[in-house]
């Protein structure tokens, strides 16, 4: 495993996005349509971070037309162009899977000030 991490150390993104669980983020994803490439935004709440190193992923959840949509993004993927933090969340859990059962105002996460 150490050999794999040493081999992939050059491929890790340096800033590694300072995102934490509960943050509302806007992820810019590269979408290929034939020969063209464009950026598509996906905005939602980070409900989980998994793994570490090159295989690290984070799960973003949002409501789209009343239906919950979750996407898992590889943190160090070249297809993830940019991750912007819209607002910081104040939470005390490592995973926010309980938000799946909540709708409307009950699904909100308190904002961390400062």
pLDDT tens digit sequence for 15-65: 656 889 999 999 999 999 999 999 999 999 999 999 988 899 999 999 999
φ, ψ dihedrals at 82, nearest 5°? -155, 145
- 71 C-beta neighbours (distance < 10 Å), count: 13
More confident residue, 3 or 69: 69
d(CA 114, CA 110): 13
pTM of the model as a whole: 0.85
Q: pLDDT per residue over 94-103, tens digit each?
A: 999 999 999 8
Give the pLDDT band (50/70/90) at residue 11: low
Measured CA to CA in angstroms, residue 54 lies from 35, 79, 84 at distances of 28, 14, 20
> Which domains are present in the chain?
13-100 (2.30.30.790)
């Amino acid at each position: 495993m150490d050999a794999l991490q040493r081999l992939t150390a050059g491929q890790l993104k340096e800033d590694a996005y300072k995102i934490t669980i509960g943050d509302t983020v806007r992820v810019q994803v590269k979408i290929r349509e034939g020969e063209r490439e464009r950026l598509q935004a996906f905005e939602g709440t980070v409900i989980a971070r998994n793994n570490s190193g090159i295989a690290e992923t984070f799960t973003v959840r949002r409501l789209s037309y009343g239906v919950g949509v979750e996407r898992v993004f590889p943190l160090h993927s070249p297809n993830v162009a940019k991750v912007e933090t819209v607002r910081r969340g104040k939470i005390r859990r490592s995973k926010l899977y309980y938000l799946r059962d909540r709708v409307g105002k009950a699904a909100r996460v308190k904002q961390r000030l400062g």
